[in-house]
């Protein structure tokens, strides 16, 4: 068969393969379909497991998983789903194309709100499109980098289309990135006093720039409600390039009365095709030596 014809046929079979990956009862068959078709680039509009619709391109890692599995970071998705309801506020720092923003909007539909912050203009435009697709009325967005101090210009190093979510303010992390310029604002300046009072959960996923985000929000930590929690992806290597350590972050939260908890996070496709039991965040013990999601809570327990 002609190679180009075979490629076109394979491309047309992608939506059928996706249905198989999502719904077939045999896990091994789902995995075989994933291996055969997931590498094919496909522009899509698909529904997440929680019901929101997203536009995307399977060239990107996160969007590929959302298309085939309808979910991203299952343990974090489950934990956020248990945390948000009513008239609370969810702050999504590093919102990317909007998966967790949409989840928050869905969970808080009865009266809560979401503040979604994304530094990359390219990604921000995709975020806005996904919010528009879902008619989200309870989301406020801001295209800016969360920084320690106000900066008219911050350099953002952006990845190629294979993993847009790895874009970062930390130089030297990405191999051969492109760069763009964006305004930098402390998180405490991006949020109104009324929003700070309503915060139930803050998610920070900024690819190694978490120290800058925390430095720009430390003054609002004591102002957060007693039940407010944060989940932060902590990157030890990136912190080290900034002459900071994991201990520096843990100490900030310890001094503010928060306890750290590990949250399971597995990006391998096997964890999605052969999903195991969802684990709640477990009380921190031992060193953090690789990028890790850490929940900070004032609850003093073995798990959340």
pLDDT for position 8: 63
Closest CA to 253 of 281, 280, 279, 234: 234
Closest CA to 164 of 69, 292, 77, 63: 63
User: Side by side, which strands form the sheet with 151-158?
Assistant: 145-146, 178-185, 151-158
pLDDT for position 176: 57
* Least confident interval from 102-116, 121-135, 161-175, 241-255: 161-175
Report which secondary-structure segment, H or E, holds 121: helix 121-133
pLDDT for position 72: 97
pLDDT for position 162: 77
Q: Is 20 helix (H, G, I), strand (E, B) or coil?
A: helix
* Least confident interval from 44-58, 177-191, 249-263: 177-191
Average pLDDT value for residue range 281-296: 93
Q: Where are the domains of the chain?
A: 3-40, 72-297
pLDDT bucket at 174, cuts 50 / 70 / 90: low
DSSP assigned state of 134:
T
pLDDT for position 63: 96
- The predicted-structure confidence for 125-144, as pLDDT tens digits, reads as follows 999 999 999 999 999 999 99
User: Looking at the predicted structure, is the pLDDT value of residue 38 above 90?
Assistant: yes
User: Looking at the predicted structure, is the pLDDT value of residue 152 above 70?
Assistant: yes
| CB 60, CB 162: distance < 8 Å | yes
**Beta-bridge partner residues of 294:** 232, 262
pLDDT bucket at 5, cuts 50 / 70 / 90: very low
Average pLDDT value over all residues in the chain:
92
Closest CA to 271 of 46, 55, 50, 77: 77
SS in 3 state form for 213-224? HHHCCHHHHHHC
Average pLDDT value for residue range 116-127: 96
pLDDT bucket at 45, cuts 50 / 70 / 90: very high
Quote the CA–CA distance of 281 and 289 in Å, as a whole number: 17
pLDDT bucket at 156, cuts 50 / 70 / 90: confident
pLDDT for position 157: 85
**Beta-bridge partner residues of 89:** 113, 199
Q: Which residue has the tokens 């039991």?
A: 277
pLDDT for position 175: 62
User: Looking at the predicted structure, is the pLDDT value of residue 266 above 50?
Assistant: yes
Average pLDDT value for residue range 84-91: 96
Give the CATH architecture of domain 72-297: 3-Layer(aba) Sandwich (3.40)
What pairing do the DSSP bridges indicate for beta strands 292-297 and 229-234?
A: antiparallel
Closest CA to 235 of 258, 206, 214, 260: 206
| CB 93, CB 187: distance < 8 Å | yes
| CB 96, CB 61: distance < 8 Å | no
- The predicted-structure confidence for 187-237, as pLDDT tens digits, reads as follows 999 999 999 999 999 999 998 899 999 999 988 999 999 999 999 999 999
């Amino acid at each position: 068969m002609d190679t180009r014809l075979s490629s076109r046929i394979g491309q047309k079979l992608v939506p059928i393969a996706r249905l198989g990956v999502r719904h077939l009862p045999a896990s091994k068959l789902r995995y075989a379909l994933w291996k055969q078709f997931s590498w094919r680039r496909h522009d899509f509009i698909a529904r997440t497991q929680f019901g929101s619709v997203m536009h995307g391109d399977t060239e990107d890692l996160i969007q590929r998983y959302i298309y085939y599995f309808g979910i991203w970071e299952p343990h974090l998705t489950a934990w956020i789903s248990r945390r948000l309801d009513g008239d609370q506020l969810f702050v999504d720092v590093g919102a990317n194309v909007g998966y967790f923003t949409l989840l928050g909007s869905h969970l808080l539909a009865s009266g809560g709100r979401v503040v979604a912050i994304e530094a990359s203009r390219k990604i921000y435009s995709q975020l806005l499109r996904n919010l528009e697709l879902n008619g989200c009325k309870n989301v406020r967005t801001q295209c800016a980098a969360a920084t320690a101090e106000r900066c008219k210009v911050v350099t953002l190093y952006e990845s190629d289309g294979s993993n847009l979510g790895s874009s970062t303010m930390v130089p030297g992390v990405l191999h051969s990135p492109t760069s763009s310029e964006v305004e930098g604002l402390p998180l405490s300046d991006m949020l109104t006093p009324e929003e700070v009072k309503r915060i139930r959960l803050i998610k920070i996923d900024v690819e190694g720039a978490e120290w800058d985000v925390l430095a720009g929000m430390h003054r609002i930590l004591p102002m957060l409600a007693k039940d407010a929690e944060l989940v932060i992806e902590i990157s030890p290597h990136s912190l080290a390039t900034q002459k900071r350590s994991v201990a520096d972050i843990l100490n900030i939260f310890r001094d503010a009365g928060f306890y750290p908890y590990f949250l399971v996070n597995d990006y391998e496709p096997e964890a999605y095709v052969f999903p195991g039991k969802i684990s709640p965040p477990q009380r921190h013990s031992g060193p953090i030596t690789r990028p890790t999601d850490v929940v900070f809570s004032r609850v003093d327990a073995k798990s959340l």
